[in-house]
Structures are given as structure tokens and as C-alpha cells.
Structure 1
Amino acid sequence: MSEDFLLDVQIVPATSHDYDEVMSISGGIDCGLDYLPVSYHKWLADPQRRMFLAKFKKQVVGFVSLLVVDGGEAAVAQKLRVALWMRGRGIVRLIQKHLSDTLCPRYREVTKVRLATSEHVPPTKLSKYQLIHSKVVVSVILPHDQLDHAVKLLKHRVQSAYGKQPLDALTPEEVLSLFENSRTAERLLPKGLLIQGWLPLSTHKSNLELLIQRGIVWFHSEHCEKTSDCESTTKSGDTSVTISSGFLSLGTPPISVPLGDGMHRFDIDLFGTDPVSAKKHILHQLIKGVQLLPLGAGVVCIFYAETSLHDELTNFCQGLTKFHFYKEQNVLEQDIKVLARH
């Protein structure tokens, strides 16, 4: 099709009056777990965020949100969507150009744009974006009448195999203190990225404060491993023991989604490669998350983890009902100058 029709597509700021139209092009997004319906109006009030619509003949055919992060040095594109009947016609490219045109004069310190996608990244796309990191996604659905059983099942699996070692959620002060040492981010976070619910961030203090304000639940733990080749060891009998950089998890407060029947979405982002710690963190995050659910609500739990943990987490969730969500999470980054050229 000729691209002449793009001349009739306008990119305009989103308003509260556009809500219904944006929702009309959002059916089936994120397998029914789209959190934009309950976030839309909150995002409009966020001074660090801008939201744009693509309109064709005054009808909404596209949407994207742009959040400035990393102390103003980067921006994250979120919830990009195009109406089903307009896909493949260059709408995304038009939106991207508008983002670059908006960022350059308004946010002069922004040098890169990131986005997280569930799609496999083809080589052609890598000519425009740099693939920063990939994680596996494991998800289960727990209707209200299965919640108690699920928690008991996972608790039994953790305690019977590894004993009782409770975790305590970090306070805001402890979160900030954890990342004062730059080596924490280097060891825990691939590429230094703290990926929270598809939002890829650096550990800049402003980002940590943003997540604290959102009520994210943080768990951090250390674990010991037997090793003969480690950076720093202590002797315990004949066994060399090292204290690893630990394991980190972030739990996003459950959020209502269009799936129906009072269902909520609960994202748990895992950082680290130790399978024992991963299971403990999932258990404690789930316990916390269930406590935050409204009476009678169910939840879809989504775990994001390093690829090496896929089989361990899949086995850990045996007996729970799988949810057909995405299988991978890819974080892409693009220089804003490159974005402007496309």
C-alpha cells in the first residue's frame, strides 16, 4: 500500500477524553493482562511521562507512552499498540519518529530510548536496536479458590528441600543502601538494568525512588556456595565457601486486569541465577502479593528470570495451572540519533 495515507495520520498528545477509544484498540493485548486500563489516568498525571495517540481521520489507531528515566538520560517506550486493522502500514515508524522529534528539543539530555518486548528479535531489527538482555517468562493462573493450595504447595516444596529461612522485605532505606555500592548492580543485574514489570531502568537513585513510591516489594538475600575458584573465600573445615552477590526480587503490587472474574496480574522480577534462592523469593513474594489482593480475587503470577532458571522454575510450578502468556522478555535499546533516522 502507498505510504501517502500516512500524511493523513496525526500524532497528538493523549487526553483523558481518549480513554474509551484507546481501550477500543486494546482488545486481547497481553493475553488479557493489559494494565493500561487502570494505569491510563494515573500516567496522564505523571510529569515524567508523556502519552501519544496516532489518529487517522480523527479515529485513534495507535498509542504509546514515553517515560523519562535514569535522571533524564534515557526514556522508555511503553504500551505501544496499533489497531488491528492498521498494522503493517507504517504507523509504528511514524510514532517512533514523533518520539524522537519530541525528545530532542524537550529533553536534551536524553541520549537513548529503551523498550521491552515479548517478541523474538529478528536480525533485521538488530540493525536499529541493540539487544541488551533477555529473560524467560513463566506464568501460572491461580483463581481465588486455588490460592491457599498454591501457597501451601510451594511452601512445602521450599521447606522440605531447603528448610525454613524466612526473608524480610527491604525498607526504602535498605533499598537505597543496597545500590550505593556499584558492585551490587554489576553482580546482580545484567547490563546494570533493573527490569521491573517490563520497565528497564538503571539503578539511578531517581529510579529507585520511583519504584519505592509505587509500592514495589523488594527481597534481597545472600547465599553460600561451595567453591574452589572464587574471588573471596573463607575456610570452614576443609570446605571453601564464598558469599555470592546474592539474589534480588521485585514484586509489583497486584493490579486488576481485563481477564475478568476479579483477576489480577502479579509480576515478580527475579535477579540472580541461584535456583534455591529463586524458589524462596517466589514463595515470599507470592505470600506478600496474596495479602494485597481484594477479597475474592484471583491472580495470574508472572515470573521473569534468567534463562538458566527456566527448567527449575517450570518444575517448581508443577501442579499449578499454566497461563499462556509470553515466553520471553527482550530489552532493546536505541540511540536517539538512530531513532530519528528511522
Structure 2
Amino acid sequence: MKIDTSLTIPQPPEALSQAGLQFDEATEEDFDEIMAMSQDIYGGLDYLPTRYTSWLQETNRTVIVARKEGKVIALESVCVIDDGETMLVEGLRVAPEERGKGVAGVLLRFCSELVKSKFPEVKVTRLTRDDPLGPKDFQKYRVITKQGILLVRFKAEELKLRLSNLISHEGIFSSLSSPSAVRLDHKSIHQLYLTTDLMHGVLPNATVIQDWQPFKLLPSNFAILLKKNIDWMVDDESNPTVASLCTFPFKVPIGDDWYYLNIDMFGKDLSLVQQQLLCHLQCHMATLKGHVMCQIFLDQALWKPMADFCHNALNLELVKEYTEQCVVESDV
């Protein structure tokens, strides 16, 4: 579907070279071009191939591609959340030969104007970053919250054996079956997160961050979250100290039998965080195979002891040193 480019706001001097860009709503037919454009993203660990089709079906999401001389050179996605007050910017992709030329800024401004025309009640733009924020960023954005990012890698069969040996012979993970890691059904999730304030002290800034997406505790947001394949856990439904959300494994482009697993951990109790990590891994061991990249988001102070735990107790390979997930927003 062609977009009315009259919605494009005036371009600043540094973006004048981008004259002639054409903006379209993304379609299934664009998939191959987009994949080719972004094949080096995240070192071949891009989530977009598994999300693209579902994104096109979300009624609260706008996905735009930029073309130059008929060729797709960039993509941006904006999802409207928080009762229509927040536009969440995700999935920016720019073709390698066009990076550093101002394409991203032009596309983002176009998407913002388009979304505001469709959802006039939008008040803020929110995004999640993992790159260091500089002085200009702090002038532009407010920081909502930060989490540490722990990225580990393992072979599924090796971890299955390791977990089996630890449980059978060393007995140190008997907590796997303890009530310290309680899986929640939809009714329990709704009850705990929306009808009480128990989670306010557990979540960072009363925000559910699920796989890079930050949500306020609102029924409309949970209507979105509960449509996803996510495992929800807490240590205690009546008085939670630690909570976690785990995506189902998804394939990534780096090669055959490569999967990604994202686990969002909330709370500061190291032992409970360890127990819930183990439970999430156990839950997916039956279906996991091949190589697995596991991204764990957690309280910054827990990063080092959790990195040691993953390496020493589970024999997982640490892929990166400490990095941060930072949720920021600005007024529209």
C-alpha cells in the first residue's frame, strides 16, 4: 500500500541527500528484500525473520519500508500501546550501503507523523536501546529504567545432560520443583498484575519489559501480552519477590539449528532468580535442539553473580561482557 508522502515533515540539512525516498506500508512481498538488507544484523541473530509476518497482522502496529530507486533500503515499525498514549519504536533496519546517511532519522520522523495522524491521542515515543547513551541522548530522552543484559550460549543436548547430572547426582537443584518458581496461567497473571499493586515493587518503575517491549500495567497492554507465547513465573503469588517472563525459542538466521531464548527477570533476590532461570530452561529442554543463544535481562547488580553461576554451575559460554538494556522516552 502506498503512503501519502505529504505527511513527511520538512527534512533538516543533513538529510537533504535523502530526497526521493518513497515510503510504503510493508507487505509479505517485501520479506526477501528486508531479510537480504538486514542479514548481518546482530551477527546473524536477528529476531525479525520470525516476527515480520505477525507484525503485519497487528492492528495497533505500523510497519513502513523506505525505497530508493524502487529498492527497499530501510524499515521501521511503530506499535501503539499504553491505551493509545505511547508509540513504541522497534525494528529499525537500514541497508549497509545507506547507513550513516541520515536515512534512519528521515524514516523515523515520517513514521512518527504517520502514526500521530492515525492515533492522535499518542503523547510519547518510547524505545529500548542497548547502546551507550551520550549527552545528546539525555537532552532528548527521559530514562524510564535500565536492566543488565547477560548473553550466554550453549548446545541444547549438552545442557540437558548437565541439568540431568546436577539434579540426579549433586542434588543442588532440588528447588526446580519447589514453589519458589510458580508458573502462572492467564487468570493468575491478570489477578496478580492488574488487580493488585504487588508487582509495583518487583518490576522496574512498575514496567513489564517483555523481549525489549516496555508496557505499563494496563488491561490493554495485557491483552497484547497474553496473546504471545510466554511463560510467566513468580516465586510467590501472594507476596512476589521475583518474577520472570520467558519467550518460546525462535530460530535465527545465523545457521540451521540456531535458536534464541529471551528471559526477562525482575527482582533482586539472587537465589530466586537462579531458581527461575533453571525452571525456564527445564521447561524448554524437551523441545530445544542445536545451538541456543539465551539473553537474560536482569537487575544490574545481579549481572556478575549470575554470569558466574551460568559459567561455573551450568557450563554456559558467556558471549558478551556487561551490556545494558535502557528504556527511554520523549514527548511527541
TM-score bucket (shorter structure): 0.7 to 0.9
Q: Structure 1: give runs of 5+ residues left out of the alignment.
A: 224-242, 337-342
Q: Within the alignment, does 1:330 sit opposite 2:326 as a pair?
A: yes
Q: Report the Cα distance in structure 1 between the residues aligned to 2:210 and 2:224, rounded to whole angstroms.
A: 11
1:25 to 37, 40, 50: 37
Aligned residue type for 1:113: T
Aligned residue type for 2:127: L
1:129 to 124, 132, 141: 141
Q: TM-score, normalised by structure 1?
A: 0.85
Partner of 1:301: 294
Q: TM-score, normalised by structure 2?
A: 0.87
The answer on whether the counterparts of 1:196 and 1:250 sit within 8 Å (CA) in structure 2 is yes
1:195 to 209, 215, 219: 209
Partner of 2:9: none
Q: Which shows bigger deviation, 243-252 or 194-203? A: 243-252
User: Paired residues, what number?
Assistant: 315
Q: Within the alignment, does 1:50 sit opposite 2:46 as a pair?
A: no
Q: Within the alignment, does 1:246 sit opposite 2:254 as a pair?
A: no
1:67 to 79, 82, 85: 79
Aligned residue type for 2:132: H
Tell me how large the CA RMSD over aligned residues is: 2.4
Q: Report the Cα distance in structure 2 between the residues aligned to 1:281 and 1:140, rounded to whole angstroms.
A: 16
Q: Report the Cα distance in structure 2 between the residues aligned to 1:20 and 1:325, rounded to whole angstroms.
A: 33
2:267 to 248, 272, 276: 272
Partner of 1:72, secondary structure, is coil
The answer on whether the counterparts of 1:143 and 1:263 sit within 8 Å (CA) in structure 2 is no
The answer on whether the counterparts of 1:136 and 1:307 sit within 8 Å (CA) in structure 2 is yes
CA positional deviation for 1:77: 1.0
Partner of 2:286, secondary structure, is helix
User: Percent identity, aligned pairs only?
Assistant: 28
CA positional deviation for 1:156: 7.9
CA positional deviation for 1:245: 4.3
In structure 2, relative to structure 1, the CA distance for the partners of 1:6 and 1:152 (3 Å cut) is: same
Deviations, residues 242-274 of structure 1 (Å, cap 9, x unaligned):
x96411000001111112131110000001111
Q: Report the Cα distance in structure 1 between the residues aligned to 2:166 and 2:62, rounded to whole angstroms.
A: 41
Q: Report the Cα distance in structure 2 between the residues aligned to 1:290 and 1:72, rounded to whole angstroms.
A: 38
Partner of 2:191: 177
| Residues 1-342 of structure 1 mapped to structure 2, 5 A cutoff | 3-152=15-164, 160=172, 163=175, 165-166=178-179, 167-222=181-236, 245-293=240-288, 296-318=289-311, 319-324=315-320, 327-336=323-332
Q: Report the Cα distance in structure 1 between the residues aligned to 2:126 and 2:227, rounded to whole angstroms.
A: 22
Q: Report the Cα distance in structure 2 between the residues aligned to 1:117 and 1:157, rounded to whole angstroms.
A: 42
Q: Report the Cα distance in structure 1 between the residues aligned to 2:212 and 2:259, rounded to whole angstroms.
A: 17
In structure 2, relative to structure 1, the CA distance for the partners of 1:145 and 1:204 (3 Å cut) is: same
Q: Report the Cα distance in structure 2 between the residues aligned to 1:102 and 1:67, rounded to whole angstroms.
A: 12
CA positional deviation for 1:155: 5.2
Q: Report the Cα distance in structure 2 between the residues aligned to 1:94 and 1:217, rounded to whole angstroms.
A: 38
Q: Report the Cα distance in structure 2 between the residues aligned to 1:321 and 1:276, rounded to whole angstroms.
A: 21
Aligned residue type for 1:291: A
Runs of 4+ in 1 over 4 A off after TM superposition: 153-159, 161-164
Partner of 1:339: none
Deviations, residues 41-88 of structure 1 (Å, cap 9, x unaligned):
121111111101121222111111111111212121111121122112
The answer on whether the counterparts of 1:150 and 1:320 sit within 8 Å (CA) in structure 2 is no
The answer on whether the counterparts of 2:249 and 2:261 sit within 8 Å (CA) in structure 1 is yes
Aligned residue type for 1:329: Q
CA positional deviation for 1:332: 1.3
The answer on whether the counterparts of 2:15 and 2:106 sit within 8 Å (CA) in structure 1 is no
Aligned residue type for 2:149: V
